[in-house]
Amino acid sequence: MELKSRRHMAPDLSGAIELCYTNGWTDGLPVIPPTADRVEAMLNAAGLAPEHQLAFIENRQTSVTAEKVAINAVMAGCKAEYMPVVAAAVEALADPLYGYHGPATSTGGSAVFMVVNGPIARELDINCTDNLFGPGWRANATIGRAIRLIMRNVIGTIPGELDRSSLGHAGKYSYCIAENEAESPWPAFHTTRGFRADQSVVTIFAALAPHQFSNQLSATAEGILETACAQMRMSAGTARQPQYALVFAGEHSETIKKSRWTREQVQKFVYENSRISRAELKRAHIEPGDITPQDERTMVPLVHEPSDLLVISAGGRAGVQSAYIPGWGGKNGSQSVSREIRRP
């Protein structure tokens, strides 16, 4: 296997790590030096030739090859068997529906939220339960981190330069989860995207930070969703996001399961009950202009269609917390994209 990337010499491990800092190749945390044998192991695990193009980022006129992806996956701390997930996510980044340039460069500060479904999520032990968005799981942390390093080191999405995020959020380090398919009230999320349950799939979504909400009083799906809707109505209302993710954790998922609500019922209820009047948007200085009597009666939906709500079951079994995650952009903003994870 012939690798094309430029070689750099360092006296020892510490020197190699510092070399990466000196050259701006890190996300602020130390990286694993990408030696040739480690990079080759990544490529072999995915059955990819070094020169294979996984993505072409149109706005940057940048080809993202398997070799460059493997290098950054090593740097992120990935095991070789994680490489097929990283490769599929990179393919999704180049999909026109995702629209890489907008969410990557906007002042809005979105991150690449990744949901992994299917057998590979269980095989790689990608966390779908306790501390869902927090630290402690190598697969979650390093797969998500690899995507950010690729964006930085291959595509040039560097803070203060191409990445113009005003605030950002911690998901820009890593933002990767699996769905808890075993305990979900619904069929696996990726089956709603046209895949079979036995396929392994990664879905990427240009997303703001998770917004946690609590409800310890309701014993029905409707009560839990009313709490979610109350908190979602004003959220990120500056542009009316094209999609939202709803992540229901253990106790809320169990309550919804007992209520026998389908995913489609959840989507329809949230769509109808998260609408807000144009008058309220004007009072909050989210929309311009004077308030008219008509504004009090004109209801603005959070998203354009109920199907724009991505409903997922994941999180700790105990506790009465769930979350909603706003997407990036307005009417023509980034759309979530799913790709099958292929292994040799």
Average pLDDT over residues 55-70: 96
Q: In this model, does residue 235 exceed pLDDT 80?
A: no
8 phi and psi angles, rounded to 5 deg: -125, 140
In a domain, 48, yes or no: yes
Q: Give the pLDDT score at 239.
A: 52
Same domain, 14 and 155: yes
Checking if the pLDDT of 69 tops 70, the result is yes
Q: What angle do CA 143, 203, 339 make, to 5 degrees?
A: 95
Q: Which of 131, 140, 134, 137 lies closest to 250 in space, CA to CA? A: 131
184 domain-assigned: yes
Angle between helices 36-46 and 83-93 (to 10 degrees): 80
149 and 262 in a single domain? The answer is no
Residue 1 domain-assigned (yes or no):
no
Please indicate, yes or no, whether residues 163 and 222 belong to a single structural domain of this protein.
no
Two structure tokens written together for 284: 């909050």
- Asked if residue 331 is part of any domain, the answer here is no
- pTM of the entire predicted model: 0.96
**Rounded percentage of the chain residues whose pLDDT exceeds 70:** 98
Average pLDDT over all residues of the chain: 95
First to last CA, the chain: 16
User: Closest Cα partner for 176 from 73, 37, 101, 71?
Assistant: 73
Whether 249 and 296 map to the same domain: the answer is yes
Digit-coded pLDDT (tens) for 183-227: 999 999 999 999 999 999 999 999 999 999 999 999 999 999 999
Spell out the alpha helix ranges (H) of the chain.
13-22, 36-46, 66-76, 83-93, 101-105, 119-123, 138-153, 221-232, 250-259, 263-273, 278-283, 293-297
Residue 299 and residue 155 share a domain? no
**With contact defined as beta carbons under 8 Å apart, do 236 and 263 qualify?**
no
How many independent structural domains does the chain possess? Answer: 2
Q: Report the DSSP pairing between strands 299-300 and 276-277.
A: antiparallel
Percentage above 90 pLDDT, the chain: 90
| Owning domain of residue 76 | 10-203+337-344
User: Does residue 2 lie in a domain region?
Assistant: no
pLDDT in tens, 237-280: 555 678 999 999 999 999 999 999 999 999 999 999 999 999 99
In a domain, 4, yes or no: no
Q: How far from chain centre, in Å, is Cα 15?
A: 33
**Model confidence band, residue 234 (pLDDT cutoffs 50, 70, 90):** confident
User: Are β-strands 244-248 and 309-313 bridged in parallel, bridged antiparallel, or unpaired?
Assistant: parallel
258 shares a domain with 170: no
- With a cut of 90, say whether residue 339 has pLDDT above it: yes
d(CA 70, CA 248): 33
Whole-angstrom distance, CA of residue 115 vs CA of residue 312: 9
Do the beta carbons of residue 113 and residue 119 sit within 8 Å? no
Within-domain flag for 332 = no
Same domain, 134 and 181: yes
Residue 341 burial by Cβ neighbours in a 10 Å radius (0-12, 13-18, 19+): buried
Residues 272, 178, single domain; the answer is: no
Instruction: Please check whether residues 215 and 196 belong to one and the same domain.
Output: no
pLDDT of residue 238: 52
Residue 63 lies in a domain: yes
**Mean pLDDT of the 18-37 span:** 97
Question: How far is Cα of residue 329 from the mean position of the Cα atoms in its chain?
Answer: 15
Residue 270 sits in the same domain as residue 195: no
Give whole-number Cα distances, 307 to 26, 37, 304, in Å.
Answer: 37, 45, 8
Whether 191 and 117 share a structural domain: yes
Q: Say whether 323 sits in a helix, a strand or coil.
A: strand
Q: What is the pLDDT of residue 343?
A: 95
| Range of weakest confidence among 129-143, 160-174, 324-338 | 324-338
Residue 1's pLDDT band, with cuts at 50, 70 and 90, is: confident
Q: Are residues 133 and 26 in the same domain?
A: yes
**Residue 286's pLDDT is what?**
86
